[in-house]
Structure formats: structure tokens, C-alpha cells
Amino acid sequence: MGRSRRILIIADLQSPLDRERGLVGLKGGHQIYWYSFPKAYLEDLNDTAEPPKGPMRWRSILFSPFFLKRAIREIQPDLIHVFYAYHQLDNLILHRFTPLVVTVMGGDILSDQSFQGKKKRLTKKMLEGATIITSKSDFLDKVLLRIGNYADKIRRVTWGVDTQKFCPGMDVRLLREELKMKGDELVFFSPRNCRSFYNQDLIIKAFAIYQSIHGGKKRAKLLIAELFPEESYVNRLRGLVKELGLQDKVHFLGSVTHQEMPAYFNMADIMVAIPRSDGMPQSLYEAMACGTYPILGDLPQYQEIIKDRVNGRLVRIGDVRALAEGMGWAADHLEHRRTAATLNRKRILEVADKESQERLVNSIYEELLKS
């Protein structure tokens, strides 16, 4: 390993995944600095650059490039690593720096999410300035190549999951008791953000249909994690549950922490996720590592890793009855779910093991820092 260098991370310190990934360079012996808005603190950082201050958000956005420029001048980083390719006006500063590593997440480069209007122009500027672009999937590679000629820049980094923590076989009896879950109840789990984009209302409606068909012979519960909730949407979901008479069948879990997720995936038999658009979600890797059976929307990006009726189910997005059918089919095929759990765990160990991915990231850093 080469000598210690200064790496400046541009990411959201409030995001558990960003924090975890931003600190990977510590294992390579490097000094990690951070520029984040809003300001946050984290152990093991050499420093966090002071973000812009102001009573209104627009002032923070407007003046952030000046604060960022000052932070770069004071820290004098040997490398900058940006997580998420759109950082508003900061892109005007960052795209000029070299070496620059940019990790795309999905929403930042997908035209049905953030990649449009002025965001599109600023994001493209960042990608053009990048020395290396890390991508989690073939699907995201293709999206990047439609945006620009970045073939020589793209590196596959899945970031992976901690397969020692996200693993099957955890004792979840206390959690089941806490949630008043009976031992024979089938558990469906919706782990994505509690926002309209993620179609949680359609999951509840599909579960109601499932209950009307299968509820008599197989008791089931639906658990919904209230991650990054839209208050009005959550209220709408609660109203929908009451309207459908599912108060004793649907549990809203509050904001589940990342540390708690392995237990919830172990308790769940089936994970359900049907957002309108997506990259390659971390929650899918985590579910697969724990042996939780995935039911997903039929997005092409999912099809790289999930094959319908082989290691999961893919259903038409927006089709509530198709989702209900998928739930019923998965509930009725226990042996299939067990086989899928074995296949999925093996797949994660091959392509998304955290330790091997951390070594890969540090090898990229070393390559760029050799000079």
C-alpha cells in the first residue's frame, strides 16, 4: 500500500450508506476529510469542512461553491470522491479537480428522476470531469454511455453488504414478540422509502387482495418501514389501511435504522419493492444476503440479478392484481423460496461482498494516487 494521502469526500454525512462508503479509504491508510451539507460529525474523520450558513436554503445553495473552494484550498486533497453526481452548483467547482472519482447512484443519471433540466447539464459536467466513474450495474453502465463517451472511465463497484451482519439464521423471536407476530404468520416487508415514488399504496392494495384470497388459509402481516417519510403520504397510507380494514394486518414500523435491518430481513419471508424507477438498490442486496425472497417491479435493471420464478418474482409496475398474484404465488411456493434463498446468498457473496468491494475501491484510489 502506498503512503497516506488526503481524500476529500463529497457526500451526505446524514446518510448511513454514504458514511460507510466514504470511510473506506481509512482501510487503505488514507486521511479522510468531508464536505457535507447539512453539517454533521463522525468519528475517524480528520476533519469536516464547514458548509455554508444562511437562514434560507437558496442562500446555502448559492454560496456553497465558495465554501467548497475554500475547503479544497485549505485541505489540499490528493483525490476527491463524490457520491451522487449532482451536487447543485458545487458541480461547477468539482468537475475541474483531478483525480476525481464520481459514484453514480441511479437517480442522479436517470431521466425519469433527477437527470433533466439544469440538473442534467450540471450532472453531465461532473461526469465529463471525472477521472473514474463507479457504477453498480450493467444497466447503469448503459445509461452512462447514452449520456456520454465514458467507456474508459467506468468501473464496476457494487459496494456490497456486510455479509457477516446481513446473513440468514438470526434469532428474531424477541422482535416477533415485540410486534405481536404469531409464529406461523407469513411476513411481507416493504423496506423502501415511505414516499409516493415508491408506490407503498399499491403494495397495501395488493396485500388487501392477497388477504381476500389467501387470508383464510395462510395468516400474513405486512410491515412497512417509514424511511425518509413524506408526512402527507404516510397519513394517506394509514387512512388506506383503515379503509381496507387491515389495521391488525399492516404494521408501520417507524424509521428503522440500518443496524436493525438484518433482523427485519430475517423476520420477513418476502420483501416487496415496486418503485417507478430505480438504480440497483442496497436493500435488494441486503434482502438477498439474508435469504428474504424478493418480489420486485419488472424494471430491466432488476433483471440483471433477479430472474422471474428462479430467484424472485418480477411483476408489472402499477398492476395491483399482478402484484397480489405474485404475493400469493410466493406464499404458496415455500420450497422455491428456500432454493431462491440459497441462490441469492451465493450471488451476493460473488458480486456484492463488502470486504472485497472495499479492497477494490482502495485499489482504485492507489491507482489514481500513484503519481
Q: What is the pLDDT of residue 67?
A: 85
Residue 62 has pLDDT above 90, yes or no: no
Residue 22's H or E segment, with its range, is helix 16-22
Nearest to 134 by CA among 21, 27, 42, 44: 21
Could you tell me if residue 202 is inside a domain? yes
Q: What is the pLDDT of residue 50?
A: 46
Q: Do residues 240 and 364 share a domain?
A: no
Distance, in Å, from the CA atom of 20 to the CA atom of 37, rounded to the nearest integer, reads 17
Q: Do residues 136 and 40 share a domain?
A: yes
Could you tell me if residue 166 is inside a domain? no
Could you tell me if residue 116 is inside a domain? yes
Write the CATH number for 343: 3.40.50.2000
Between 50 and 164, residue with greater pLDDT: 164
Between 65 and 319, residue with greater pLDDT: 319
Q: Do residues 61 and 37 share a domain?
A: yes
Q: What is the pLDDT of residue 43?
A: 55
Could you tell me if residue 180 is inside a domain? yes
Q: Which one-letter amino acid corresponds to residue 187? A: V
Q: How confident is the model at residue 59 (pLDDT cuts 50, 70, 90)?
A: low
Q: How confident is the model at residue 198 (pLDDT cuts 50, 70, 90)?
A: very high
At 172 the three-state DSSP class reads coil
Q: Do residues 233 and 109 share a domain?
A: no
Positive or negative, the Cα torsion across 361, 103, 273, 15? positive
Could you tell me if residue 206 is inside a domain? yes
Q: Do residues 320 and 361 share a domain?
A: no
Q: Do residues 148 and 191 share a domain?
A: no
Task: Please give the average per-residue pLDDT across 329-338, as a whole number.
Answer: 97
Nearest to 21 by CA among 31, 11, 35: 11
Q: Do residues 197 and 322 share a domain?
A: yes
Could you tell me if residue 260 is inside a domain? yes
Distance, in Å, from the CA atom of 216 to the CA atom of 211, rounded to the nearest integer, reads 8
Q: How confident is the model at residue 51 (pLDDT cuts 50, 70, 90)?
A: very low
Q: Which residue range is the domain that position 239 belongs to?
A: 173-351
HSE at residue 127, side-chain half, CA atoms within 13 A, is 28
State pLDDT tens for residues 9-23.
Answer: 999 877 888 989 999
Q: Do residues 251 and 283 share a domain?
A: yes
- The pTM of this model reads 0.90
Q: What is the pLDDT of residue 63?
A: 79
Q: Do residues 364 and 325 share a domain?
A: no
Q: Cβ distance 35 to 108 under 8 Å?
A: no
Could you tell me if residue 168 is inside a domain? no
State pLDDT tens for residues 216-228.
Answer: 667 899 999 998 8
Q: Do residues 119 and 216 share a domain?
A: no
Q: What is the pLDDT of residue 53?
A: 44
At 182 the three-state DSSP class reads coil
Contacts of 281 (CB under 8 A, 6+ apart): 192, 273
Distance, in Å, from the CA atom of 215 to the CA atom of 221, rounded to the nearest integer, reads 10
Q: Structurally, how many domains does the chain consist of? A: 2
Measuring CA to CA, how many Å separate 30 from each of 2, 6, 27?
A: 9, 6, 7
Q: Do residues 266 and 359 share a domain?
A: no
Q: Do residues 188 and 80 share a domain?
A: no
Could you tell me if residue 331 is inside a domain? yes
Between 124 and 57, residue with greater pLDDT: 124
